[in-house]
Amino acid sequence: MTGNVIEVNNLEHSYGSIKAVDNISFTVKQGEIFSFLGPNGAGKSTVINILTTLRKLQKGEARVNGYDVAKEPNSVRRSIGIVFQMLCLDHEMTVSENLEYHGRIYSMKKKERSKRIEELLKLTDLESKKDTLGKDLSGGMKRRLELARGLMTKPAVLFLDEPTIGFDIQTRMRMWEYLREIKREGTTIFLTTHYMEEADQLSDRISIIDHGKIIVTGTSNELKNKLGKDLIYLETSDNRAAAEILRSLVSVKNVTEDTKSLRIMIGEDVTHVLPQIMDKIRRGGIEIIIVNIKKPSMDDVFVHYTGHELREGNGNGNGNEKQQGIETAVVSE
Amino acid sequence: MSFEFRAIYWREMVKYFRYKSMLITSMVQPVMWLAFFGLAMSDSFDKLTSFVPNEPGVPVVAYISYMGAGIIAMDVLFSSLFGGTTLMFDKKFSLLRETLASPVPRTHIILGIGLSAVTKALFQTFIIIGFGKLVGMEFFKGYTLVETLISMVGIMLLVAIFTLGFLFLSGSIAITVENPEGMQSILTLVSMPIFFVSNALYPIDGFPTFLKVLSMFNPLTLLAGGIRYFALGTNFSVMGNHYIYTTVDIVVAFLGLIFFALVMLSAAMWRFNKVDI
């Protein structure tokens, strides 16, 4: 193996005439957390379903842990753990029975099973809940149990499809802690998310995916740095005219307009550039209403690369993913 | 050889024993059939047919013993027909995903659930035979211990094959339909003709010819007949009808049920391979 746990080349997938995944290639390195960031319907779940052998590969090539997804699905299945987008735990069984069942379907030996269950209950802080029925757990605990279950077989890579969808921020942050801990123990993690913060906080590398294509890939810092050092947010009496003036300035890297405001990317230290900018605009007879300076965030990165904001329903892929997101009730710990 | 079906079996049995309401009702129901329907019918039937002369030299069997075999068959029919419902819920609540994403072959899923249904069916069979003895059902009359044991094994085998067949059928329906209401109505529709066009509760000798022919191909008839062969003997009369079961009959019963189970298994596999996550 080349140090890449996942290798995908020219992957394509269509549902009827709709192309959900359009010629995607990427690699995930041993031991890293890799994120697919994109709106609902961007094709994230389709990619994860192909890589986990739940969907037949239509076109292209994909290898997981060195095994060909199309030709060696069972070897792939033995190499991975999955946390599905929708909660899928057996509510009629206890926490440890859920894990026990998972160990059994993967033919783990009895001794190995009980040792692993103990370790995982500890890792996910569910020791005191081990005899609690699935239905009596809180939303966050259920997710942790699914996390434990995904790790039961010590997989080479753990797939998480929107792991914190519908959770409140505290629960989400706790979940991130657990994921970091799992990474520290050496497990490679591939996750899809439409939460900027999640991708930003957790990932070693991020691919922004939109309309079935990877738009850009890099570390969080790389992506942000491409937007320049600082961002200025402006609201003026005439945004269009202001944008014209700003584009002629050398220190301004890029200007994006939307209906209300301007986003200005700056290549240099903003403290020197700002007075100059404001001066030019005023001299053009335009009134400045609001000024705001900030470091580029993942939101800005996203807008920059996709040309639109990341909101529910921005994608045009299969409506299925969107629906599932809505179905998942908001749960908290 | 892989044994993943044992995991599926384990899970089904854990849940079976966890929910006492399910466990108890499944045990009490056959007893109630015997106690209420059985005793009531057997008294009236025996009264009605008391004037029909019996052939000399042929042992006479009370209706309740005849019907006892039918009650076993009926009970096993219903529990196995409804046994597949678990798959529908597993699919509906996406529990099936975990298993479908694992290396477990799909045959094992249906096989594991099938074997758990067999276990439950055997429990019920024992209960009916045990309780039946108390209310005057004369199974294994005049048998030696060895003969009784052999007969029990025969009955268990028949029940097991029959249960698998109907569970595969029920599983195929469960994996295909989307909602419990649909499942319920299909099962009711399927179970009615199987139940009434059979010899489970009454002899088929009086049936119109086409029903008689139909009932001979009914797995329930094969099962009830087979149980009678093992429990009541090869030569007896009940309600004035003289029954002779031959070795050919029991071989036909076994082969017929095995054939039925295999056909249903392939139906289940066909439906299962179509399941998408």
B-chain residue closest to A46, CA distance: B277
Non-local CB neighbours of B103 within 8 Å, separated by 6+ positions: A74, A77, A78, A105, A106, A107, B4
Q: What is the pLDDT of residues B166-192, one digit of tens each?
A: 999 999 999 999 888 889 999 999 999
Q: Is any Cβ of chain A less than 8 angstroms from the Cβ of B103?
A: yes
Non-local CB neighbours of A302 within 8 Å, separated by 6+ positions: A37, A196, A208, A309, A310
- Say which range, A252-261, B122-131, B259-268, has the weakest mean pLDDT: A252-261
b/e map B240-276, b = 16+ CB within 10 Å: bbebebeeebbeebbebbeebbeebbeebbebbeeee
Q: Tokens 């300076």 map to which residue?
A: A293
The answer, yes or no, to whether residue B277 has pLDDT greater than 80, is no
Question: CB B11 to CB A149 under 8 A?
Answer: no
In whole angstroms, give the CA distance from residue A209 to residue A192.
10
| Contact pairs from chain A to chain B, CB under 8 Å | 61
In whole angstroms, give the CA distance from residue A260 to residue A292.
14
B-chain CB neighbours of A92 within 8 Å are 15, 18-19
A-chain residue closest to B108, CA distance: A105
The answer, yes or no, to whether residue A195 has pLDDT greater than 80, is yes
What pLDDT score does A333 carry?
38
Strands in chain A per DSSP E: 4-15, 18-29, 33-37, 59-64, 67-68, 80-83, 157-161, 188-193, 205-210, 213-218, 230-236, 252-257, 262-266, 288-294
The answer, yes or no, to whether residue A183 has pLDDT greater than 80, is yes
Q: What is the pLDDT of residues A132-165, one digit of tens each?
A: 999 999 989 999 999 999 999 999 999 999 998 8
Q: What is the pLDDT of residues A28-79, one digit of tens each?
A: 999 999 999 988 888 899 999 999 999 999 999 999 999 999 999 999 999 9
Q: Tokens 């899928």 map to which residue?
A: A88
| DSSP run (H or E) holding A178 | helix A169-184
Question: CB B15 to CB A92 under 8 A?
Answer: yes
The answer, yes or no, to whether residue A85 has pLDDT greater than 60, is yes
CATH number given to A4-223: 3.40.50.300
Q: Is A136 helix (H, G, I), strand (E, B) or coil?
A: helix
Half-sphere exposure of residue A63, counting CA atoms within 13 Å on the CB side?
Answer: 13
Q: Which of B45, B80, B79 is nearest to B62 (CA)?
A: B45
What pLDDT score does B1 carry?
57
pTM, entire model: 0.83
Q: Is any Cβ of chain A less than 8 angstroms from the Cβ of B98?
A: yes
Shortest distance between the Cα of A205 and any Cα of chain B, in A, equals: 26
In whole angstroms, give the CA distance from residue A329 to residue A139.
10
CATH number given to A228-295: 3.30.70.920
A-chain CB neighbours of B3 within 8 Å are 107
Domain count, chain B: 1
Q: Is any Cβ of chain A less than 8 angstroms from the Cβ of B3?
A: yes
Residues of chain A with a CB closer than 8 angstroms to some CB in chain B = 49, 52-55, 74, 77-78, 82, 84, 86, 88-93, 97, 101-102, 104-107, 149
- Say which range, A160-174, B236-250, B256-270, has the weakest mean pLDDT: B236-250
b/e map B45-58, b = 16+ CB within 10 Å: beeeeeeeebeeee
How far from chain centre, in Å, is Cα A220?
12
Shortest distance between the Cα of B1 and any Cα of chain A, in A, equals: 12
Question: CB B98 to CB A102 under 8 A?
Answer: yes
B123's tokens: 């429990």
B-chain residue closest to A53, CA distance: B101
A198: DSSP letter? H
Q: Is any Cβ of chain A less than 8 angstroms from the Cβ of B274?
A: no
What pLDDT score does A170 carry?
87
Q: What is the pLDDT of residues B135-160, one digit of tens each?
A: 888 889 888 999 999 999 999 999 99
Considering just the CA atoms, what is the radius of gyration of chain B in Å?
Answer: 20
Q: What is the pLDDT of residues B222-248, one digit of tens each?
A: 999 999 999 998 888 887 778 888 889
Q: Is any Cβ of chain A less than 8 angstroms from the Cβ of B104?
A: yes
Nearest to B102 among A92, A93, A105 (CB): A105
Q: What is the pLDDT of residues B47-69, one digit of tens each?
A: 777 777 777 778 888 888 888 99
B-chain CB neighbours of A142 within 8 Å are none
- How many C-beta atoms lie closer than 10 Å to residue A251's C-beta? 17
Q: Is any Cβ of chain A less than 8 angstroms from the Cβ of B4?
A: yes
**What residues does each domain of chain A span?**
4-223, 228-295
- Say which range, A16-20, A72-76, A204-208, has the weakest mean pLDDT: A16-20
Q: Which of B210, B117, B205, B99 is nearest to B162 (CA)?
A: B117
Split at pLDDT 50, 70, 90, the class of A259 is: confident
Shortest distance between the Cα of A101 and any Cα of chain B, in A, equals: 6
The answer, yes or no, to whether residue A262 has pLDDT greater than 90, is no
Q: What is the pLDDT of residues A214-255, one digit of tens each?
A: 999 999 888 888 777 788 888 988 888 888 888 888 888 888
B-chain residue closest to A110, CA distance: B7
Shortest distance between the Cα of A77 and any Cα of chain B, in A, equals: 6
Q: What is the pLDDT of residues B73-100, one digit of tens each?
A: 999 999 899 888 888 888 888 788 899 9
Percent of chain A with pLDDT over 70: 92
Question: CB A84 to CB B3 under 8 A?
Answer: no
Please give the residue that has the higher pLDDT: either A324 or B238: B238
Q: Is any Cβ of chain A less than 8 angstroms from the Cβ of B107?
A: no
What pLDDT score does A324 carry?
35
What is the domain extent for residue B235?
A: 5-273
CA B209, B213, B218, B224 dihedral sign is positive
In whole angstroms, give the CA distance from residue A203 to residue A194.
13
What pLDDT score does A310 carry?
67
What pLDDT score does A50 carry?
94
